[in-house]
């Protein structure tokens, strides 16, 4: 693995570990606000670390931004898919709960419904932004080099 790719892998892996530590810290008390939650959620998905490893190339800032949006969309979809389980076990790290104030100690159905709608809207927004970012990356010719040397990958 070339040195610059290894360096980026180490930085992205360090960020992944930091986000997992943050997530663990928030097991007892949810982060303040949805932006803080989405930051943790998008980083714990680990897309940048995985892509750096698989592609064997450094990731452009544009692709990094796209992968963050993809990470947000994946995290939000996971929150919606796992909502039943999270309600049953009293999990607090779920966008539905963070955005609405719903909790096991205050199980208001109206808050739950509002949180679900907020999560659906946030997911749709992240997915649409990711599609737009991808279109911009591809450009008019339909191809772009989104990874930097040594192994530049054209998509």
pLDDT in tens, the chain (155 residues): 778 778 878 888 888 888 888 888 877 777 778 888 888 888 887 777 777 777 666 677 888 788 888 889 999 999 999 999 998 988 888 999 989 888 777 778 899 999 999 999 999 999 999 999 888 887 755 665 554 444 444 44
CB 99 within 8 A of CB 34: yes
In-domain check, residue 25: yes
Q: How far apart are the first and last CA of the chain?
A: 21
Which is nearest to 40 in space by CA: 53, 51, 31?
31
In-domain check, residue 153: no
Q: How many CB atoms lie within 10 A of CB 29?
A: 8
In-domain check, residue 134: yes
CATH of the domain at 61: 1.10.600.10
In-domain check, residue 149: no
Cut 0.85: pTM above it? no
Tokens coding 101: 């104030």
CB 26 within 8 A of CB 97: no
Please give the angle made by the CA atoms of 7, 64 and 124, to the nearest 5 degrees: 150
Which is nearest to 67 in space by CA: 111, 12, 114, 21?
12
Measured distance CA(81)–CA(32) in Å, rounded: 23
Domain that holds residue 70: 3-139
Domain count across the chain = 1
């Amino acid at each position: 693995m070339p040195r610059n790719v290894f360096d980026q892998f180490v930085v992205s892996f360090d960020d992944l570990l930091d986000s997992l530590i943050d997530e663990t810290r928030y097991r007892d008390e949810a982060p303040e606000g949805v932006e803080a939650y989405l930051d943790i959620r998008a980083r714990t998905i680990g897309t940048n670390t995985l892509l750096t490893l698989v592609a064997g190339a450094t990731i452009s800032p544009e692709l990094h931004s796209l992968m963050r949006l993809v990470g947000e969309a994946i995290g939000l979809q996971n929150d919606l898919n796992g909502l039943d389980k999270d309600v049953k076990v009293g999990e607090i790290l779920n966008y539905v709960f963070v955005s609405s104030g719903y909790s096991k100690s205050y199980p208001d159905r109206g808050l739950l419904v509002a949180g679900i709608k907020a999560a659906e809207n946030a997911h749709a927004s992240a997915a649409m932004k990711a599609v737009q970012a991808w279109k911009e990356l591809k450009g008019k010719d339909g191809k772009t080099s989104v990874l930097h040397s040594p192994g530049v990958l054209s998509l």
